[in-house]
A and B are shown apart, each in its own frame.
Chain A
Amino acid sequence: AQKITQTQPGMFVQEKEAVTLDCTYDTSDPSYGLFWYKQPSSGEMIFLIYQGSYDQQNATEGRYSLNFQKARKSANLVISASQLGDSAMYFCAMREGNGNYQLIWGAGTKLIIKP
């Protein structure tokens, strides 16, 4: 079974609109962390935002926020007021447990912002 599922292979969004990228996860470990990364066409993997399983509040970083619904096992990334520079591949990833350095990656969502 897929541990990280990103159901949107590609999305087109109008500039300045908000966009939600979906991510669902599957783990039986009570301690885990969820990450979102952005990968532009240049190839660099850029860390955006982190949510820990015990965090009480949804994570926010500037225009990025994470809609964390623990019971539903979802960790959707919300980008407010999208910009042309947001066009990129977006990956959701999970780390299970403590002291575990391996990330489990989703297949990614290709986001294209239209002017």
Chain B
Amino acid sequence: NAGVTQTPKFRVLKTGQSMTLLCAQDMNHEYMYWYRQDPGMGLRLIHYSVGEGTTAKGEVPDGYNVSRLKKQNFLLGLESAAPSQTSVYFCASASPRDRSLKGNQPQHFGDGTRLSIL
């Protein structure tokens, strides 16, 4: 059981380049999230999706776009990368049906994509 898989694991971009980060989950979860993690800032929500074909803005959405064409995939796009977008990006998934001792709708995270923009 792979859980949440993020591709790629590392990437270096030049300012102005574009790229897409891919998140795939095999748990049939309805909800998916993209976070960025920066030193001293913690995890901040970029965009999220509550179902196939739907997306919504989080706390820091500027400069990013997302798409959820398939339930299992959530794509994060940078159209014109900027040095301020250098960060570690985490994807997570959750289900409203998942209620356990570990929590109500616990979020399951991937291992991150480390992105550097020069």
Q: Do A and B come from one complex?
A: no
